Amino acid sequence: MISVIIPVKKLTDFLIGENLPAMDRQKYRHFEVIVLPNDGSPQDKKLLVKYSWLKIIPTDKITRPAEKRDIGAKKARGDILAFIDDDAYPAPNWLSNAVKIFDKDNPAAVCGPGILPPNATFWEKVFDEVLKTFIGSGGYSYRFVQKTKRLVDDYPSMNFLIKKSLFTELGGFNNDYWPGEDSKLCRDLVYKKKQTIIYDPSVTVYHHRRDQLISFLKQHANYGFHRGAFFAHGDENSRRFSYLVPTFFVLYLFISIFYLLFPTSIFNLPPSIFYSPLIIYFLFIFYLFLHAFIDTRNFIISLTTPFVLFLTHVVYGIMFVKGAFTGLIKKDKIYG
């Protein structure tokens, strides 16, 4: 059996209107779904009657997704735990394809892309254009579009399946990080337990993006902060050059402003050389504009996408530095 675990603050329209109906269309039928809201709701009884495989377990004062998932894992009857977000819903063969990979390749965990749903809003489409290019995702675009099968050492829990025995052996997520709890789990699984995580494009879910610019930027500020902290902690799957690039970019912008104000200062470089990285960045921006236009045939989306990319790089780069300093000081608790 597979136990699908979904942590939520409350039952959402995405969960009720998309996720649960999609679970009911799964070709693989030997599963249960455990939803963990903060509190019970008047809708619970109706949903439990409609879906025989559903469990709703309120967690009261426990609100962190990682802690909720650990509770769900303890209540789970399956030998495989499948984590998915409430604003995502699976393709009909999500579980059946994952089971085939577990049976054939015997990995510790299986994951797959969270692609954009057909009913996405304007802002979701903009953010998707940023995320599914190497410029916006730093080489991790396979998390947002279907790419070739591969081994990975880090993956978000929006679409992540793991053997319950190994999850329990690791102590579950066993942390209150959010986001980033999944990165810590993957790090322990791959580098401590020497296990494998297989990414396969056939294990697909449809995952909504943020629907407002501010919430998207806050999300990536959080990503930058936690990645910086984990980099400082020495986590192997966080020590990648690609994670440092936005910070180098921000540093370069500050230096460029100083150079513009004081062109005869210590740099002693001709403008054609000093500003060449900025020219390269603008070429990437133009590429993103063209890519977005070809992909969406929408001029407004393609014009907005480069602007969002720039802001994403800036907030991520700044928050990475803050996270790194925090991680150097605090090895366990990075909040407060």
Write the pLDDT tens digit of every residue in 125-168.
Answer: 999 999 999 999 988 999 999 999 999 999 999 999 999 999 99
Categorize the per-residue pLDDT at 273 as very low, low, confident or very high, splitting at 50, 70 and 90. Answer: confident
Q: Which residue pairs, CB below 8 angstroms and at least 24 apart, start in 128-134?
A: 128/209, 129/288, 129/291, 129/292, 129/295, 129/296, 129/301, 129/302, 129/305, 130/288, 130/305, 130/308, 130/309, 130/312, 131/209, 133/288, 133/291
Burial degree of 60 (CB within 10 A; 0-12, 13-18, 19+): exposed
Q: Could you report the per-residue pLDDT of 217-250, keeping only the tens digit for each? A: 999 999 999 999 999 999 999 999 999 999 999 9
- The pLDDT of residue 293 is above 80: yes
The pLDDT score that the predictor gives to residue 180 is 87
Q: Could you report the per-residue pLDDT of 56-73, keeping only the tens digit for each? A: 999 998 988 999 999 999
The CA radius of gyration of the chain, in Å to the nearest whole number, is 21
d(CA 259, CA 274): 9
Beta bridge partners of 54: 33
Answer yes or no: are the C-beta atoms of 60 and 38 closer than 8 Å: yes
d(CA 120, CA 322): 33
d(CA 102, CA 157): 17
Answer yes or no: are the C-beta atoms of 115 and 146 closer than 8 Å: yes
Average pLDDT over residues 194-211: 98
- The pLDDT of residue 271 is above 80: no
Q: Could you report the per-residue pLDDT of 96-135, keeping only the tens digit for each? A: 999 999 999 999 999 999 999 999 999 999 999 999 999 9
- The pLDDT of residue 1 is above 80: yes
Going by the DSSP 8-state scheme, the letter that residue 79 receives in this structure is S
Structure tokens at 165: 């025995």
Categorize the per-residue pLDDT at 90 as very low, low, confident or very high, splitting at 50, 70 and 90. Answer: very high
d(CA 273, CA 85): 46
Catalogue all structural domains in the chain, each as residue range(s) with its CATH number: 2-209 (3.90.550.10), 231-329 (no CATH)
Sign of CA dihedral 75, 78, 81, 87: negative
Average pLDDT over residues 23-39: 97
Query: pTM of the entire structure?
Result: 0.93
The pLDDT score that the predictor gives to residue 187 is 96
Answer yes or no: are the C-beta atoms of 92 and 182 closer than 8 Å: no
> For the chain, what is the total number of helices (H) and then of strands (E)?
14, 11
In whole numbers, what is the pLDDT of the chain averaged over residues?
A: 94
- The pLDDT of residue 266 is above 60: no
Average pLDDT over residues 172-200: 91
The pLDDT score that the predictor gives to residue 138 is 87
The letter for the amino acid at 144 is F
The letter for the amino acid at 177 is Y
Sign of CA dihedral 97, 101, 107, 111: negative
The pLDDT score that the predictor gives to residue 107 is 98
The pLDDT score that the predictor gives to residue 333 is 74
